A and B are shown apart, each in its own frame.
Chain A
Amino acid sequence: MPDLSVDLCGLKMANPTILASGILGISRASLALAVRGGAGAVTTKSISVEPRKGHPAPIIITYSGGMLNSVGYSNPGIDNVADEFADVRDVGAPVIGSLTGRDEEDYAILAEKAGRLGFDALEIVLSCPHTPGYGTMAGLSTPEITERITRRVKAATSRPVFVKLSPNVMALTELAKAAEAGGANAITAVNTAGPGMIIDIKSRRPILGGRIGGLSGDALRPIAVRCVFEIYEAVKIPIIGTGGVSTGEHAAEMLLAGATAVGIGTAVHDRGADVFRKVAEELSALMEAEGLRSIHEMRGGAHEA
């Protein structure tokens, strides 16, 4: 049996799959559901400073190419998740706390408070494409701001910090380098693309309650693979390759592009909450067929030596 285990910045994972932020992840119980489904690590839904109700429904729709979501960062706010996430040991795998802020100040507050909870690492989201006041819509996807915020967050916590990037920027490698310069321990690539819109032709209304939504799933995968490939050549820190992974083949593609671990979100819809086990088993079978013993032998394999 090939060895699928991964040490990601000190997070000991039984396999390289990670539940991506915003899918399940509102509570320890919902994270544990993904762990029972085989996830090597799990990420919480993004937490903001203030409570947020999120957008009206539909918040998620799927079409032939993938998924659009406009959840709108609904969450009870950092002060109200303390009870839920103070101790996360019953989740059964490493837990990454996802944080989303409007500006540098927000991130400093979030990192300081989240750093006192049970999270094994923190992920800062500088890349949501469809929530006004956050991510790319707040102009957080510039190298200067990325480096500044990363540095502030690193100063506020002793936990490993992952920086989550958007596929929508041209200067992607500049952002990855800026995150590395700011002290990031890993890069999560990527968040959703777009935003996109789907209109109901009978009622002539955009279907999503938030009208526009981030694109994920199949349509995103080639973009995500390209982003991981480029970032791998630009930085030395590990990459969590995320976007459209739903099979062992897709996971292998991400590893070959340069990822150390793979995030999975949308595929929970198509293949169920145990998609993580399915992907890990498929990856294992594929490696066995190729005579590979450890996934380290795959990482970055698509790059010329």
Chain B
Amino acid sequence: MKHELPVTARIARVILEAEGIRSVILPVRTEVRPGQFAMLWLPGVDAKPVGISYHTPETVGFTVSAVGPWSERICALREGDLLGFLGPYGNGFTLRGRRIIVIGGGYGAASLLLLAEEALRSGLEITMVIGARTERRLLYRRRAADLGLPAVFATDDGSFGVAGRTSDVLERILVEQSVDTVYACGPEMMEKKVAEICAAAGVASQISLERHMKCGFGVCGACCVDRSGARVCVEGPVFSGEEALRIEEFGCYHRDGSAAKHFF
């Protein structure tokens, strides 16, 4: 039987990424594919799905935005505190082509950084687009500079970088250049826009979906989407743009922890 028990360790490093967003680095060796997530476990409290945003041979790290009771507690943790995780889970992204665009909205950028790192290592031509509501919430400005990652920043209020949405930036780039694959993770309406823009332009896309997850490994059914029944935690979280657009509830509704529907 394949075991799904959490690995627990003391936090090696906490990084203040932006207002209300922190990363925690654990000294745990694990194999990770870009785009995979883990069930991050605060012992005795709860475990929730979070993308893997940092990885070295000796460490694995997560970037968490404080949006509710659990994530606020994660963001209050300090170096030396105990934290566990189950995983990594999910399919992850597949690098395709020579020229790619990687678009992250809000904490969605977290699930894309390992992909961007791999693309740089493989010598691909990459443009990263990172968006947020406002400058104080923008992720990875320093990290992008340190990596030498060509990045375009966009804020809704124009306080930093391009004023406007990441999908507008994408449309502009697609007019100017030929692109092989577009990768996206962020708020669902942004993801839908990206998938539609790419479909219209005839460009391949890979989209990382978010659904309520309880187990993370395909048993509980919480993350099954209508009407294919695909489990976002196993068959996803990454779907091709065409697959995503065929998911009836994509950009329409999602289910909460009791399986009740909520419309976007």
Q: Can you spell out 30 A-B residue pairs with CB atoms less than 8 angstroms apart?
A: A22-B220, A23-B220, A24-B221, A26-B224, A26-B255, A26-B259, A30-B221, A31-B229, A33-B228, A33-B230, A33-B231, A52-B258, A56-B47, A57-B41, A57-B48, A57-B215, A59-B215, A60-B217, A60-B219, A61-B6, A62-B1, A63-B1, A63-B3, A64-B1, A66-B1, A71-B220, A76-B258, A202-B84, A272-B218, A273-B231
Q: Which 6 residue pairs are nearest across A and B when measured between Cβ atoms?
A: A33-B229, A203-B43, A30-B224, A29-B229, A24-B221, A57-B47
B45: interface (CB < 8 Å): yes
Question: Interface on A for B, CB 8 Å cutoff?
Answer: 22-33, 36, 45, 51-54, 56-67, 71, 74-77, 80, 90, 198, 200, 202-203, 205-207, 209, 217-218, 266, 268-270, 272-273
A92 to chain B, nearest CB (A): 11
**Bound: A144/B91 CA distance, A:** 50
Residue among A33, A53, A80 facing the most chain B CB atoms (10 A cut-off):
A33
List chain A residues, Cβ under 8 A from B43: 200, 203, 205
B125 within 8 A of A: no
Rounded to whole angstroms, the CA-CA distance of A50 and B102 in the bound complex is: 44
Q: Are A62 and B2 in contact (CB under 8 A)?
A: yes
Q: How far is the CB of B230 from chain A (nearest CB, A)?
A: 7
Report how many residues on chain B are interfacial, defined by Cβ distance under 8 Å: 40
Chain B residue nearest to A56 in the complex (CB): B46
B interface residues with partner A (beta carbon < 8 Å): 1-6, 8-9, 39, 41, 43-48, 82, 84, 86, 214-215, 217-222, 224-231, 255, 257-260
- List 4 extra interface pairs beyond A32-B227, A57-B47, CB under 8 A: A53-B257, A61-B86, A77-B258, A269-B218
Q: Give the docked Cα–Cα distance between A218 and B8 (Å).
A: 26
B260 x A60 contact (CB < 8 A): no
Cβ of B37 to closest chain A Cβ, rounded Å: 13
Binding site secondary structure of chain A: loop
Cβ 8 A contact of A58, one of B86, B221, B227, B255: B86
